[in-house]
Amino acid sequence: MMRSTASYVLAAFAAVTISSQALAQAPAPAANPPPAMPAAGGTPDAMPFDIPYGMSIGLEKAKQVMAAAEAEAKKRNWKMNIAVVDTNGEPVLFERMEGAQIASGAISIGKARTAARFRRETRLFYNAYETGHSYPGTLDPTLTASPGGFPLVEGGKLIGAIGCSGGTGDQDAAICKVGAELVK
């Protein structure tokens, strides 16, 4: 009986040893790889957003752009902060409509400044963040990646930009687009 018990123990030990070696040699289940980052877009043949600089917008033209944007905001009953900047992104004209959110004043200037300095609509930076690209934040600490900033292009040359803030990004963009379309 002692011999049978010893045989059973020895057989059980051998089975555990063999199965543990088999488990140790089994490959670990494959971890889910992280999702691939979206492509950066490749290398274009032409330089994107290569709008030549023109003479900076003056106060009178800035007033016209501002009036068009303000009229659209009033028509829709949206309280906006509206900024018009020169080619360097420096303010030429700023307006906070009655009751517009105070925090949006600096945001509207930031959107206009970003649109002027980078010669493109600020929605493009917003879209980059939304698709997983975090690089825009490394470009300039004052970059504003939110819809509502448009370059002002007259005669094919950048003369400044307009930025709006106070509503949703799409509301801000709708108001600023009206001002930007005034300049041709």
Spell out the domains of the chain, with CATH numbers in brackets: 59-182 (3.30.450.150)
Predicted TM-score of the model (pTM): 0.76
Q: At what angle do helices 104-118 and 169-182 cross, to 10 degrees?
A: 50
Write down the pLDDT at residue 177.
Answer: 97
Query: Of the candidates 148, 140, 94, 146, which has an alpha carbon nearest to the alpha carbon of residue 118?
Result: 140
Q: Let me know: does 163 contact 105? Beta carbons within 8 Å.
A: no
Write down the pLDDT at residue 43.
Answer: 81
pLDDT tens track, the chain, 184 positions: 555 665 555 555 555 555 555 455 555 555 666 665 556 667 878 888 889 999 999 999 999 999 999 999 999 999 999 999 999 999 999 999 999 999 999 999 999 999 999 999 999 999 998 888 888 878 888 899 999 999 999 999 999 999 999 999 999 999 999 999 999 8
Query: Of the candidates 98, 87, 118, 102, which has an alpha carbon nearest to the alpha carbon of residue 165?
Result: 102
Q: How far is CA 181 from CA 64, 154, 161, 173, in A?
A: 11, 10, 11, 12
